[in-house]
């Protein structure tokens, strides 16, 4: 087992990893940009190293600077968190060559499952249900032929990334060429990979993902699903577990399929296989995320497992502490992402936090890296905190989240807390009748 972990990230996920490491008796190293020198993860780590100026490409995306920080500090393992370099196979490869344990899947597994076209091939080989789609498109003419074969509407997607970048919905043959070049350009700019593919587009889908964890000894466990349908511009806003839209039969079938696929491909660490549900309740594999997810706490709340600790222990060669084929959820959990943004226009709202009072009480958890007096920089993602609640059932979880948000005080900047209140009060959300376009409909 390694002894010192460098956390190659910032904000609440860096703090989350540091806390897990401390509970496992591991020393920690925080890296930070110049603007993050007073960040909470820097204060709570055992050591810290400045790796560059505020711009991500010069600091948190700067592989030589991060590797140098690990060598200078004597870190023998590295946790990438989520975002930044967390799904960069080249980065994981560099860590391996430098004798640093990368806390995550191997570079080979990351390439096999992280690339969306390759992931579709893997998923299909193990019987996961698939939307009609294509492989990598080699030009606009190829895109046109594949779109005609699949049938409109279609969606073009970047093979090497996500988060909405490189995604273009096409409803008519005459629009395919411009959409193809636009998607390819965005994919190259966002992920340094111009490859795009297409698949049939579902107008009002639900987004459901299954959490798996696998060790280096051939053990794999499915920890149930999360519903991530509440999104804005392909960015998740609110998540819950279990999903109110999954039938027991579908849950059992997909849990079995994802467990076998992960185990038989030799994947290790945490992984999340994402599915779209159409209006008739049929599920289709979409992609796999080869990292810890932002929304992992809702799974932790309904299973009682520390997923980050499991991820660290697995990287050190330990066996899974859970040996069941799958873990049944206990109760219901909801997570609200609290962002520094205007709740109406969604414009970013960086600035100084003048007052900060997080909610508490039974069944309430807050993952955050902010404090009163800290200045939210404009250079990074706007996520400030995650409020996670747990109750015996969904109605209880909604009531508890309402109460928690009413207690939450963040002054000096704008946040999207009012948006979350509107979502929780909406009759359709309370009935579980939502799709990925639910927030878009609320704004009309």
Q: Any idea what the CATH number is for the domain that residue 364 is in?
A: 3.30.470.20
- The answer on 289 and 218 residing in a single domain is yes
**Pick from 207, 159, 193, 191: nearest CA to 83:** 191
Residue-level pLDDT, tens digit, the chain, 444 residues? 899 999 999 999 999 999 999 999 999 999 999 999 999 999 999 999 999 999 999 999 999 999 999 999 999 999 999 999 999 999 999 999 999 999 999 999 999 999 888 999 999 999 999 999 999 999 999 999 999 999 999 999 998 777 678 899 999 999 999 999 999 999 998 888 899 999 999 999 999 999 999 999 999 999 999 999 999 988 999 999 999 999 999 999 999 999 999 999 999 999 999 999 999 999 999 999 999 999 999 999 999 999 999 999 999 999 999 877 678 899 999 999 999 999 989 999 999 999 999 999 999 999 999 999 999 999 999 999 999 999 999 999 999 999 999 999 999 999 999 999 999 999 999 999 999 999 988 876
Q: Any idea what the CATH number is for the domain that residue 18 is in?
A: 3.40.50.20
Handedness of CA 235, 173, 285, 131 (dihedral sign): positive
Structure tokens at 72: 């200078």
Q: Which residues are catalytic?
A: 291
Task: Give the span between the Cα atoms of 156 and 140, in whole angstroms.
Answer: 11
- Where in the sequence is the domain holding 57, given as residue range(s)? 4-103
393 falls within a domain: yes
Q: 346: number of CA atoms within 13 Å, CB side?
A: 11
Q: Are strands 409-411 and 355-357 parallel, antiparallel or unpaired?
A: antiparallel
Q: Are strands 77-79 and 101-102 parallel, antiparallel or unpaired?
A: parallel
| Structural domains counted in the chain | 3
Element (H, E) at 65: helix 63-73
Last residue of a domain, one of 200, 232, 247: 200
Q: Are strands 47-52 and 77-79 parallel, antiparallel or unpaired?
A: unpaired
Task: Give the span between the Cα atoms of 343 and 296, in whole angstroms.
Answer: 24
Helices 116-125 and 107-114 cross at an angle (nearest 10°) of: 90
- The answer on 238 and 369 residing in a single domain is yes
Q: Any idea what the CATH number is for the domain that residue 181 is in?
A: 3.30.1490.20
**Pick from 291, 389, 394, 296: nearest CA to 336:** 389
- The answer on 282 and 159 residing in a single domain is no
């Amino acid at each position: 087992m390694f002894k010192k972990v460098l956390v190659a990230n910032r904000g609440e996920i860096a703090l989350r990893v540091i806390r897990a490491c401390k509970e496992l008796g591991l020393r920690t190293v925080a890296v930070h940009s110049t603007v993050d020198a007073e960040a909470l993860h820097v204060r709570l780590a055992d050591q810290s190293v400045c790796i560059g100026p505020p711009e991500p490409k010069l600091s948190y995306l700067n592989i030589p600077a991060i590797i140098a920080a690990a060598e200078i500090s004597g870190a023998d393992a590295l946790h990438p968190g989520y975002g930044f370099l967390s799904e960069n196979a080249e980065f994981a490869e560099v860590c391996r060559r430098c004798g640093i344990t990368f806390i995550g899947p191997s570079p080979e597994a990351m390439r096999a499952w992280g690339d969306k076209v390759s992931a579709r091939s893997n998923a299909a080989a193990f019987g996961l249900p698939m939307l009609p789609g294509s492989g990598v498109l080699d030009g606009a003419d190829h895109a046109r032929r594949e779109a005609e074969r699949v049938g409109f509407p279609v969606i073009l997607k970047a093979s090497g990334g996500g988060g909405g970048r490189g995604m273009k919905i096409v409803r008519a043959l005459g629009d395919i060429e411009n959409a193809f070049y636009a998607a390819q350009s965005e994919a190259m700019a966002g992920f340094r990979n111009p490859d795009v593919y297409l698949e049939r587009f579902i107008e009002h889908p639900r987004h459901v993902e299954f959490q798996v964890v696998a060790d280096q000894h051939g053990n794999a466990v499915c920890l149930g699903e999360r519903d991530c349908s509440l999104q804005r511009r392909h960015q998740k806003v609110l998540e819950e577990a279990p999903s109110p839209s999954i039938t027991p039969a579908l849950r059992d079938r997909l849990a079995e399929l994802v467990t076998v696929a992960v185990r038989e491909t030799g994947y290790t660490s945490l992984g999340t296989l994402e599915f779209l549900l159409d209006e008739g309740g049929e599920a289709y594999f979409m992609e796999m995320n080869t990292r810890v997810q932002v929304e992992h706490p809702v799974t932790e709340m309904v299973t009682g497992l520390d997923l980050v600790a499991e991820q660290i222990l697995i990287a050190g060669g330990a066996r899974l502490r859970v040996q069941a084929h799958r873990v049944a959820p206990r109760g219901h959990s909801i997570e609200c992402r609290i962002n520094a943004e205007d709740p109406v226009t969604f414009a970013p709202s960086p600035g100084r936090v003048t007052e900060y009072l997080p909610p508490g009480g039974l069944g309430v958890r807050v993952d955050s890296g902010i404090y009163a007096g800290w200045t939210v920089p404009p250079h990074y993602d706007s996520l400030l905190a995650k409020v996670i609640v747990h109750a015996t059932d969904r109605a209880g979880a909604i009531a508890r989240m309402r109460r928690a948000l009413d207690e939450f005080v963040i002054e000096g900047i704008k946040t999207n807390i009012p948006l979350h209140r509107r979502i929780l009060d909406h009759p359709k959300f309370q009935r579980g009748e939502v799709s990925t376009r639910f927030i878009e409909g609320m704004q009309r």
